[in-house]
Structure 1
């Protein structure tokens, strides 16, 4: 069995032993991102020349301790004016920004549904230990495993312990609600939280050989009594505030360290 150092090397390549100097934070929704942008006093790059012309994507940049920090978001849908949520916009943004900025670490920060059966509460912030999909159902041998796409997160046991973060497996799908089939697959994934982009970003980060940390604040209890949409909207602001407190703690923690330092 590979040790934690071997897993880090596989996930981050040569970057694992390098001191973290540049961090790219990917956030799906503007309401999730702006409290953090304000907390970190980041400045919007209105030209955003690193992005394709016409893309609605946004980038906010600044410094924190010894870190160069960039927050990138997919922006608003051109036709409907709502946040460009889901796996496709997040993947495209992460790939383009990752190639252009060459960060030493990617952080995916956002909101998620949590399962009370796994101990999740509204406002909890989780760090993902594993990623999987629950809505890519391909019932053909081998393709079925590809559809789920299970990936381990980089080992970050020391970071989790020192910052007293909760940890759990993350399951990703492109719907806010949960069908019975989704529920079956989420249970099979042994997930504590579910979101709409995490596993896709893990795939892109692995493709680019850039280490990824995923932080998710719980907005709704999926297996609770309240309707998901109602609870999500009710708790969005509070969850965004939780992220604006937690992400800076993680950034300060990783500053001056290597990815390998996060595990031991």
Structure 2
């Protein structure tokens, strides 16, 4: 049996290494679009990583630096090599999340971005939501149990103190790989009881759950899905203004996180 002082020392090391009780030190922020990412890069005074931790040849971009007591990395999936547009959608989101967790070992993942909102659920342009649950709405597998796997419902990491302090809205997030909403998608979104919809969240949640990293989802409403304007037009019309609101919200979230441990969120 180890001497009492060694036992005590070992216990202290275990307590100090407990992620629930030590201050959060490393955050990875996953953002799908460059337009959404760059204002935050400037706010946190981050620099592009010129010696990337990712495989050679992938378009993924990491901006990193220190803000207050936090090591922050903003990960943008980059542009499609063939078409030159942002690499949006679930495939890019899951890949960069997986690679980021392996390379950076974050204490917390923040998936930030714009989202469509449903006015019937109380969403308005510019609203900031913290997702309570995330699920897919376009993975339809009509076989018992496989249907549940397709939906992939997962809870976001609970942050009651953050919600109370910042007075953010809460809603369920539904994810699919299409910007528009088909009749089948609409039925699935209603089944998910979603207030907001995006193209990345549930994919990030899947990887975070797989690798056991807490994840939260900060979404700003850029278009009203059940409104009378075409989704694409409304999204582009509101993108810059809504991104400014998103960036302010993410800054407030990060300021709240600084100096706190997971159990205090």
**Interval of TM-score (by shorter of Structure 1 and Structure 2):** over 0.9
SS at match of 2:218: strand
Among residues 29, 32, 39, which one is paired with 2:43 in the alignment? 39
1:81 has 2:84 as partner: yes
Among residues 193, 198, 216, which one is paired with 2:196 in the alignment? 193
Residue by residue over 1:219-247, the C-alpha shift from the partner in whole angstroms, topping out at 9 and shown as x without a partner, is 00000011100000001111211121111
Higher relative contact order (CA 8 A, sep 6+): 1
Kindly report which structure 2 residues correspond to 1:116-135, keeping only aligned pairs within 5 A, or say none.
116-135=119-138
Unaligned runs of 5+ in 2: 1-16
> How many residue pairs were aligned?
249
Give, in angstroms, the shift of residue 156 of structure 1: 0.9
Kindly report which structure 2 residues correspond to 1:173-192, keeping only aligned pairs within 5 A, or say none.
173-192=176-195
| 8 Å CA contact 1:130, 1:151 repeated in 2 | yes
Cα RMSD over matched residues?
1.1
What is the aligned partner in structure 2 of residue 109 from structure 1?
A: 112
Give, in angstroms, the shift of residue 259 of structure 1: 1.1
TM-score (ref. length: structure 2): 0.92
SS at match of 1:234: helix
Residue by residue over 1:196-254, the C-alpha shift from the partner in whole angstroms, topping out at 9 and shown as x without a partner, is 01001001011111100100011000000111000000011112111211111111101
Residue by residue over 1:155-199, the C-alpha shift from the partner in whole angstroms, topping out at 9 and shown as x without a partner, is 111101101111100000000000000000000100000000100
Larger of the two Rg values belongs to structure: 2
Alpha-carbon distance between aligned partners in 2 of 1:33 and 1:44, rounded to the nearest angstrom? 12
What is the aligned partner in structure 1 of residue 214 from structure 2?
A: 211
Among residues 6, 16, 19, which one is paired with 1:15 in the alignment? 19
Give, in angstroms, the shift of residue 64 of structure 1: 1.4
What is the aligned partner in structure 2 of residue 160 from structure 1?
A: 163
Among residues 97, 100, 105, which one is paired with 1:97 in the alignment? 100
Alpha-carbon distance between aligned partners in 1 of 2:85 and 2:18, rounded to the nearest angstrom? 38
TM-score (ref. length: structure 1): 0.92
Give, in angstroms, the shift of residue 14 of structure 1: 4.9
**Larger mean Cα displacement after TM superposition, 13-22 or 61-70:** 13-22
Give, in angstroms, the shift of residue 127 of structure 1: 0.4
Alpha-carbon distance between aligned partners in 1 of 2:50 and 2:227, rounded to the nearest angstrom? 41
What is the aligned partner in structure 1 of residue 55 from structure 2?
A: 52
Residue by residue over 1:31-68, the C-alpha shift from the partner in whole angstroms, topping out at 9 and shown as x without a partner, is 110111111111111231x1000010001111111111
Alpha-carbon distance between aligned partners in 2 of 1:100 and 1:239, rounded to the nearest angstrom? 31
Residue by residue over 1:3-50, the C-alpha shift from the partner in whole angstroms, topping out at 9 and shown as x without a partner, is xxxxxxxxxx953333200100000010110111111111111231x1
SS at match of 2:161: helix
